[in-house]
């Protein structure tokens, strides 16, 4: 799927929050997980700007751990504010999703 840039705005951050909520993880791994999900064109620069933003907004806790196969990793985990933000994201998603389904189905909009 090509050129998802615009439609992913506001959604990608939610995906990253969801991924982090599953288990403590780090930027590079998040990129790989998104790629595996099907968002193949997402690169490091994109994810890092997101995790930096999460950090700035105090939605994640950070723990630095060394790795045996490369530079040290910065592990992220959701704090309480992050959990709330994730819930809010899914609420918004469900709302928008239902409205789009409605728009698509009903000819009388």
Partner DNA sequence: ACCACTACATAGTAACACAAAGTAGAAAGA
Partner DNA sequence: TCTTTCTACTTTGTGTTACTATGTAGTGGT
Which residues of this protein are in contact with DNA, per CB under 7 A? Answer: 4-6, 8-13, 26-29, 41-46, 48-50, 52-53, 67-74
82 binds, among DNA, its own copies, none (CB under 5 to 8 A by kind): none
Residue 107 DSSP one-character state = S
Calpha distance 21→82 (Å, rounded): 9
Instruction: Return the number of the residue (20 or 42) whose C-beta is nearest DNA.
Output: 42
53: which 2 tokens? 């933003």
Q: What is the CA radius of gyration of the chain?
A: 16
Least separation in angstroms between CB 30 and DNA: 8
DSSP E strand boundaries for the chain: 25-26, 60-67, 70-78
Chain residues in the site for its own copies (CB under 8 A): 1, 3-11, 13-15, 18-19, 22, 33, 36-39, 89-93, 95-97, 99-100, 102-104, 107, 109
């Amino acid at each position: 799927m090509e050129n998802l840039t615009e439609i992913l705005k506001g959604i990608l951050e939610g995906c990253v929050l969801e991924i982090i909520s599953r288990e403590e993880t780090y930027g590079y791994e998040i990129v790989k997980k998104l790629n595996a999900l099907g968002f193949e064109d997402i690169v490091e620069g994109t994810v890092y700007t997101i995790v930096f933003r999460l950090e700035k907004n105090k939605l994640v806790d950070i723990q630095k751990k060394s790795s045996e196969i490369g530079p040290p990793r910065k592990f992220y985990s959701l704090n309480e504010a992050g959990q709330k933000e994730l819930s809010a994201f899914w609420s918004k998603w469900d709302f928008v999703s239902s409205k789009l389904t409605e728009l698509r189905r009903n000819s009388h909009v």
